[in-house]
Structure 1
Amino acid sequence: MIEVQNLSKRYGDHLAVDDISFTCRPGSVTGFLGPNGAGKSTTLRMLAGLTIPTAGSATIGSHRYTDIPNPGTQIGVLLDASAQHNGRTGREVLTIASRTMGLDRGRVDQMLEVVGLSPKEAKRRVGNYSLGMRQRLGIAVALMPTPRC
């Protein structure tokens, strides 16, 4: 379970995230919606241990993300759909993710099917993908783990 309690982040005088709390139950998919500057990415960055909160806590299975061995196997995060290497194919991006996390190689084909990228599209270089295809590939990477919590 993901639990965020009284999470805040301040950059100097700018309050980017203001005392938010929420819980995500196991097996759920959660998305953040809101205008630019609302704190969505900052919240995810704090949850994933990339940004230190000013106040509050964010835990996955009652552990901080940075304290979980191989955290990619416990939670999938999509911060930027265009963050894949343009010279790799979609299949290569997913294969590298599965190997890095020590996941079953069969997850690559499963995720390609889940997000609707055909075998032909999976062989194309990411640099030739449309924004929608990049987003689907990013979602596939985020869905690669099979969390226990």
Structure 2
Amino acid sequence: MPKPPVPTSRYWKLHRQLARLNTFLFRRTRGKVGGSFLGGAPVLLLDHVGRRSGQARTSPLIYLDDSPRLVVVASKGGVDAHPAWFHNLMAMAATEVELPGGERRRVRPRVAEGAERARLWERAVAIYPAYANYATYTERKIPVVVLEPGA
């Protein structure tokens, strides 16, 4: 089966613009708008710091509530590279996320492995089936990131 084409730079520019709009709407409405993605997949806002720029960044991400933990999938980085937010997040000991309703949580990231990853991946694909499609045309194993409650 042929692989789908890799997104173009114009696609990524639009993706970044939509992410900024989503973040604005999410914060303005406390998650009433922008708090879910296609098909109702829940969205949180991840705060991180650019490793090269040192600038604060916010990324809207689909998440699973695996109470008390949250789970995100590092999907959109490219065929052979993890997304920048993933690298930024993993370089930090802790950060904050914002959930719908304005709730903020301090979290520590770690990458799920083995049986835990398989279980969480299946749950993520169930709420957002596009992850399974994306996995068919990337050269990398897509990380499943567990956000543990932080101090």
* TM > 0.5: no
Q: Pick the TM interval, shorter chain.
A: under 0.3
Structure possessing the higher radius of gyration over alpha carbons: 1
Structure having the larger proportion of residues in strand: 2
Q: TM-score, normalised by structure 2?
A: 0.26
